[in-house]
Amino acid sequence: MKMKKQFAMALLLCAAVGLSSCADEIPAQPNELQTPQYTVSPAPETDFEAMPEEEIHGAGAVKVIDKTRRTTADAPQNTGVTPENIWQEDATVTYNAFTLPEKAAFSEDGSIGILSIPELQLTVNVYEAADEMEAMDLGAAHFKSTSAWDGNVGISAHNVNFNGTDGYFKNLHQLSAGDTLTYETALGARNYAVTKVKTISADDWNGLSRSTENRITLITCISGQPDKRLMVQAEQVQ
Residue 181 domain-assigned (yes or no): yes
Using pLDDT thresholds of 50, 70 and 90, give the confidence band for residue 126.
Answer: very high
Question: Mean of the per-residue pLDDT values for the chain?
Answer: 74
Using pLDDT thresholds of 50, 70 and 90, give the confidence band for residue 95.
Answer: low
Residue 18 domain-assigned (yes or no): no
Using pLDDT thresholds of 50, 70 and 90, give the confidence band for residue 46.
Answer: low
Tell me how many domains the chain contains: 1
Residue 233 domain-assigned (yes or no): yes
Residue 23's Cα: distance from chain center in Å? 84
Using pLDDT thresholds of 50, 70 and 90, give the confidence band for residue 45.
Answer: low
Question: Cα separation of 120 and 138, whole Å?
Answer: 19
Q: What are the angstrom distances between the C-alpha of 205 and each of 103, 146, 198?
A: 25, 11, 13
CATH number at residue 177: 2.40.260.10
Residue 41 domain-assigned (yes or no): no
pLDDT for residue 56: 43
Give the chain's radius of gyration (CA, Å). 46
Average pLDDT over residues 140-156: 92
Average pLDDT over residues 161-171: 95
Residue 33 domain-assigned (yes or no): no
Residue 38 domain-assigned (yes or no): no
Name the least confident of 84-93, 109-118, 156-165, 169-178: 84-93
Q: What are the angstrom distances between the C-alpha of 177 and each of 100, 158, 194?
A: 29, 22, 5
How does pLDDT run across 180-214, given as a tens digit for each residue? Answer: 999 999 889 999 999 999 999 999 999 999 888 99
pLDDT for residue 194: 98
pLDDT for residue 55: 46
Domain that holds residue 110: 83-237
Using pLDDT thresholds of 50, 70 and 90, give the confidence band for residue 67.
Answer: very low
CB 219 within 8 A of CB 211: no
Q: Is the pLDDT of residue 76 over 50?
A: no
pLDDT for residue 82: 54
Using pLDDT thresholds of 50, 70 and 90, give the confidence band for residue 100.
Answer: confident
**One-letter amino acid of 138:** L
Residue 63 domain-assigned (yes or no): no
Residue 96 domain-assigned (yes or no): yes
For residue 12, what are the contacts with CB-CB under 8 A and spacing of at least 6? none
